[in-house]
Structure 1
Amino acid sequence: MTEYLKDALRKAASFCAYQERTQQEVRKRLDAWDIYGDDAEEIIAELITQGYLSEERFATSFAGGKFRVKGWGKRKIAQHLKQRGITGRNLETALADIKPDDYRARLAELLDKKRRTLHDDNPLVVKQKLARYALSKGFEMGLIWEVLGGED
């Protein structure tokens, strides 16, 4: 490995150590540093070997954070992970880490909070607005109606 590539590896390791990254993000950064093809793949392989880069770790961290902090549902999390190049087993593992009881409780909490902001006398209109809100957060329609059906 040339000195230039060793320097790029050090910079890429620092980039990955700052926060979890995907291979796609690292490739984009390497492109910005004018490192392409086999050289870029060699650096990425080395980052994986050294433990700086793990798409499973990224996916789990991303999914957990977006669920806890932003209140996103699994559909929205999956969509954003796919946009970042995470698919297959890593995607499934990340979503499986969200416990069903926590997931349902978070949805109920979001709907309750949203309900307090709505000022409409018609309960059907309120339910419709709540369902639309939960869908926009990425929750599944069946679960939304289950949670909304238990309220009234």
Structure 2
Amino acid sequence: MRQPAPAKRDAAPAGRGAAIAYAFINRRERTVSEVRERLARAELSEAEVESVLDELISFGYLDDARYARLYAQDRQALDSWGRERIARALAQRGVAGELIEAALAAAGADDAAEHARAVGLLEQRFPMGPREQRDRERAYGLLVRRGYDSEAAADAVREWRRRAR
């Protein structure tokens, strides 16, 4: 039985770049910046990188607005993250500021919804309610780490304390 011929290393760079990019985005949603970085690590020229990115964007495989919207919805629903942490994570992934703001607005990250999520998280994590100052401090710290601003965290802790009485 004949062995298949090994893949040629001197294949057209755009073809190699497209193969790398498609394999990379096949695992999960990616941002344009993430794919650009991956292609740069593969030592493709800037022109080749831009050609592959244009192809992926034109076919709808890369869409930073969609990525930001889905990411914001997931992080709110699954991890109870606040606006600040979501915005920080999206910025680290190379999403533009206006797309981040639009995604947060679309995900329902207004003050009332965020307050309700924060209180709900506290009630879930600490069902007995705060018994002492240390419990309130732990709850506040949890919310700040999850990306709620200090004022929203303090308001949520007060509401959680009031409900637990």
Shorter-chain TM range is: 0.7 to 0.9
Counterpart in the other structure of 2:104: 95
Offset of 1:37 from its aligned partner? 1.0
Aligned length: 149
User: What's the TM-score, normalizing by structure 1?
Assistant: 0.84
Larger radius of gyration: 2
* Structure 1: 4+ residue segments shifted above 3 A: none
Structure 1 residue 65: deviation in Å? 1.1
Contact 1:20 1:57 (8 Å CA) reproduced: no
Map Cα deviations across residues 53-109 of structure 1 (whole Å, 9 max, x no partner). Answer: 111111111111111111111101111111111122211111112223543322111
What are structure 2's unaligned runs of at least 5 residues? 1-10
Alignment correspondent of 1:82? 91
User: 1:51 and 1:121, CA in 2 relative to 1: closer, same or farther beyond 3 A?
Assistant: closer
- By how many angstroms is 1:11 displaced? 4.1
Q: Partner of 1:21: helix, strand, or coil?
A: coil
Normalised by the size of structure 2, how large is the TM-score?
0.78
Q: Is the 8 A contact 2:13 2:44 kept in 1?
A: no
Among 98, 104, 108, the residue aligned to 2:115: 104
2:80 is matched with which residue: 58, 71, 86? 71
Percent sequence identity is 26
When the two chains are superposed, the root-mean-square deviation of aligned CA atoms in Å is 2.2
